[in-house]
Amino acid sequence: MESFEELLEVSTRIHGHICAGQVIGVRMAMAGLERIGIAEPKGRDRKKLYVLVEIDRCATDAIQSVTGCSLGKRSMRWLDFGIMAATFVNLETKQAVRITALEESRERSKHYCPEIENKYQQQLAAYRVMPLEELFSFQEVTVQLADCDMPGRPLRRVRCEQCGDWVQDCREVSDQGRTICRACAGARYYQPIEQQEG
């Protein structure tokens, strides 16, 4: 795998700016891959790797950049927990590690770069050099992944009996004997604007 500096450069380019989240995300992903025995995430190991992220913030872009996993490839899942954590799974060995960014690291960054006055810049610099155990907590975990959440062709495509939209990957729901989409089941996040006549 490339060095930390090289990976940070790439993720910063993709993300659009350098930020603490890029440093945290790159270090988290590198540590995660190492712990599940993945050496070439974009090469020979690419089909063995699966990542679940628990937040949709800066670090998630860095994790995507380092691991090569993405929503579009279905090798990354986003769980909207609002926690700066991610779980790295080796699909072959079933090894998985959940890594959480420690809130205390914000405070600890003062000890590493006391000469930097700006708090944000201080964190940015400190997160590069802080030992992993001061940045993260690590949990060995097991993860049950459903077949319909895995990469590859959709296992199923069905048509919503209410709105007619096609639903892939077993996301349909059963409602009083009918098969409908999640939107029709009450999770619709948009409201169609009625076309008023003249």
Residue 28, classed as helix, strand or coil, is: helix
**CA–CA separation, 192 and 64 (whole Å):** 33
| Total chain residues near Zn ion (CB under 5 A) | 8
Stretch that binds Zn ion, among 23-31, 44-52, 105-113, 160-168 (CB under 5 A): 160-168
Which residues inside 25-64 make contact with Zn ion, applying CB under 5 A?
A: 58
- Please report whether residue 163 would count as binding Zn ion according to CB under 5 A: yes
- Please report whether residue 184 would count as binding Zn ion according to CB under 5 A: yes
With respect to Zn ion, which residue has the nearer C-beta, 145 or 158?
158
- Please report whether residue 100 would count as binding Zn ion according to CB under 5 A: no
Q: Measure Cα distances from 54 to 60, 81, 103 in Å.
A: 9, 5, 15
From candidates 7, 19, 76, 85, binder to Zn ion by CB under 5 A: 19
With respect to Zn ion, which residue has the nearer C-beta, 34 or 161?
161
What is the helix (H) or strand (E) element at residue 102, kind and residue range?
none
Is 49:89 a contact under the CB 8 Å cutoff? Answer: yes
Helix then strand count (H, E) for the chain reads 6, 9
Residue ranges in contact with Zn ion by CB under 5 A: 19, 21, 58, 160, 162-163, 181, 184
